[in-house]
Amino acid sequence: MKKLRLFFLAFILLALILQSTVVDLFRVYNIKPDLVLLVVIFLGFMYGKRDGMLAGFLGGLFSDLAAGSYIGLNIMSYLAAGYLAGMGENNFYKDNVFVASVICVIGTLLSQLVYYLLLLFLIVDVPVLHGIKIIVGVALYNGFLTLILYRWFYMFFVSKGYLKDVDV
């Protein structure tokens, strides 16, 4: 189990390194995907609410430390997404890429919405239309990336023997 958590940590850190460096090159209409959130949602969907929240906490904490301000903002938004994705663990087929993609879109929508609401609370000026553009844009981008990356991610954990319920 410890090794599994190390994999969690490794994937989150890898996603964060890419997110804070090269991902900016892949902006579409000024929106970039959120790779850390993607990993959090994948892990939540594959391992359940508890592990989803653990991944959300770690991903959020490291993202906040990398951003250098408002420590807790990403923790809260990723926690919500990890928990939501974890709710799908026992209710859907985990090997289905399209189901994972829908979960990812919904999880990202929730996470970005929490982020937006917290920004309003912090009195950061975000016009509503811009907020909606980011929330929906990131959700769609992440949903699209899930179609490409989820299968590979899922098979990695299956091949290592770390999936509780192998549906393949």
Partner 1 sequence: MSDNYKKILIVAIVITLAIFMIRATHLEREITVPEIAFKYIFTPFQMAVVAIENAGKSGISFLISLKDLAEENKKLKEEVRQLRSELAKMEEYKIQNKRLKELLQYKEFTIDNYDLISAGVIGRNPSNWFSTITINRGMQDGIKPNMTVLVPEGLVGRVVIVHSNTAKVLLITDPRMGVGAVVQQTRLPGVVRGVTGSCERLKMLHLPKDTQIKRNQVVVTSGLGGVYPKGIRIGRILKAYNDPSGLFQIAEVEPFVDFKRLEYVFVVTEVYNPEINLLEGME
CA distances from 116 to 40, 72, 123, 168 (A): 19, 13, 11, 38
* Contact status: 128 vs partner 1 (CB under 8 A): no
Which positions ≥6 away from 61 have C-beta within 8 Å?
Answer: 71, 74, 75
Identify which of residues 43 and 138 has a Cβ nearer to partner 1 in the complex.
138
Q: Is 97 in the site for partner 1 (CB under 8 A)?
A: no
# of chain residues touching partner 1 (CB under 8 A): 48
Q: Give the nearer residue to partner 1 in terms of CB position, either 9 or 158.
A: 9
Instruction: State the Cα–Cα distance between residues 127 and 120, nearest whole angstrom.
Output: 10
Task: Select from 2-10, 38-46, 59-67, 92-100 the region that touches partner 1 (CB under 8 A).
Answer: 59-67
Binding piece for partner 1, criterion CB under 8 A, among 13-21, 87-95, 97-105, 150-158: 13-21
For 168, which DSSP code?
Answer: -
Pick from 5, 6, 10, 27: which binds partner 1 (CB under 8 A)?
Answer: 27
Nearest to 44, CA basis, from 36, 33, 31, 55: 55
Task: List interacting residues with partner 1 (CB under 8 A).
Answer: 13, 16-25, 27, 30-32, 34, 36, 62-76, 115-116, 118-119, 121-122, 124-127, 130-131, 133-134, 137-138
